[in-house]
Structure 1
Amino acid sequence: LLLAAQVQHEAVSDEPSDVFMYLEYCFVSIFTFEQVVKVFAFRSRLYRDIDRYWNAFDMLIVLCSWADIVIASFTARLQGTNATVAKLLKLPRLARVLRMCRTARFFGSLRVMVLMIMRSFLSLFWVIVVIFGILFIFALLLTQSVTEYFRSASTLLRDASAQDELIDCFGSLFQTIYSLSQAMTGGRNWGEYAQILAPVGWDAVAIVVMFIFFTAFSVVNIVTGVFVDGAIEMSKSDRMLMLEKRMHQTSEIAGQLLELLI
């Protein structure tokens, strides 16, 4: 709530508020004190137990928060003189958003989702590679069709705007990849692209239709299934979540026994 109020105040007001600044110092000091206590209490075990990744994440947040405080005074001086450096110095402010992720450890389902996202970066990389490969293959076919159409056509399109739109969307390989990515993600209706490609021929329209069917019903569903299966396996192997389930089952059994005794 404090983060939301601070961002809203910075968006609607040009004058910074000292209240938010002092509250920022207060919370950062509390987080720092928490980390110092953990270091003295657990020492080397802090980064060797089951919560070592969360502990390292907390330490990263504290360091970024202090970096934000230290360079906050320099950003105002750099504004108007060196905007690029000023933007780079604002990067540690991402720690304000990262603090919200600290609450994930206290909720089982949310923790599984956050861990799934963090551990799926490698799988996500290969998914991006596969999707880009599919985009590249279909873009090659479409770009070749459009290029051959313009070279072999004896007359230009009657509608100059339609010709310009065809060139803008499929005039080069990179433009075709961008257009197909829009059609796949819903950035633009694929039917519009089919109408643009209609003068080229039925083969170009068929390529777009095949691309949509292949990506929508095959690739996307397979990728979703892989991530869902990974989340299920992770939830089964999550030790903290298993302990919470056992404690919940134990409390239910204890309640039933009390009802029988009464």
Structure 2
Amino acid sequence: ATHNVEDVEDLKMYFGSLSQSMLSLSMSMSGGVDWSSLFYPLADISEFYGFVFIVFITVSVLAVFNIITSIFVTDAIEVAHMDIDLRMQGEKEQSRQAVKELSRIFHCMDTAKTGVLTSMDLEDAIDNEELRTCFALLGLQITDAVS
């Protein structure tokens, strides 16, 4: 079979040695050289070589895309976990603050300072505007405690 002299020269230039072959394949994957510059000389020798070249490029490009995608997905998952951790810390801090505030309110309501709230203490608290406001800020109704 006779081959175009230009194709033979192209093949020598792109695939003349192992290092040239590796460079040519890398360049074809990354856009350093047009695929057709490598494909047509190979396909002229054998359609099988052209087919193998296209399969190589396709698999290599898909592998690179897969790696890049996995990096982004991994980073997104890590950010989501950090977000959940931050929200949990915020909830814990809110709970601590609510307990602290409720403790302060109950100490104010315990007029006898016995550590026990009586029904009389609760009735007095219902009449106290400041205590009703404190309960409301915590999302509680003081009347719920009485009933």
TM superposition score normalised by structure 1: 0.30
Shift of residue 224, structure 1, vs aligned partner: 2.1
Which residue number corresponds to residue 225 of structure 1? 69
| Matched-pair contact (CA < 8 Å) for 1:184–1:216 | yes
SS of 2:79's equivalent?
helix
Which residue in 1 is equivalent to 2:22? 177
State yes or no: 1:234 paired with 2:88: no
Q: How much does 1:233 deviate?
A: 2.2
Larger Rg: 2
Q: Which has the higher contact order (CA 8 A, sep 6+)?
A: 1
Unpaired runs of 5+ residues, structure 2, are 91-147
Residue 32 (structure 2) aligns with: 187
Residue identity opposite 2:65 in structure 1: N
Secondary structure at 1:162 match in 2: helix
Deviations 1:1-24 (A, max 9, x none): xxxxxxxxxxxxxxxxxxxxxxxx
Post-superposition Cα deviations, 1:222-244, rounded to whole Å, max 9, x if no partner, equal 212210121112213447x947x
Q: Cα offset for 1:188?
A: 1.4
Preserved CA contact (<8 Å) 1:236 1:242 = no
Separation in 2, partners of 1:232, 1:220: 19
Q: CA deviation at 1:158?
A: 4.2
CA distance in 1, matches of 2:14, 2:80: 47
Percent identical: 23
Tell me the CA shift for residue 184 of structure 1. 0.9
Cα distance in 1 between the residues matched to 2:24 and 2:57? 12
TM-score normalised per structure 2: 0.50
Runs of 4+ in 1 over 4 A off after TM superposition: none
Q: Which of residues 212, 236, 250 is equivalent to 2:57?
A: 212
Instruction: Tell me how far 1:207 sits from its aligned partner.
Output: 0.8
User: Structure 2 matches for 1:48-87, cutoff 5 A?
Assistant: none
Q: Distance in 1 between matches of 2:52 and 2:68?
A: 24
How many residues matched?
Answer: 88
1:102-150 CA-partner distances (Å, limit 9, x unpaired): xxxxxxxxxxxxxxxxxxxxxxxxxxxxxxxxxxxxxxxxxxxxxxxxx
Distance across 2 between alignment mates of 1:173 and 1:158: 23
| Offset of residue 173 of structure 1 | 1.4
Amino acid at match of 2:30: T
Query: Which of 48, 53, 66 does residue 203 from structure 1 map onto?
Result: 48
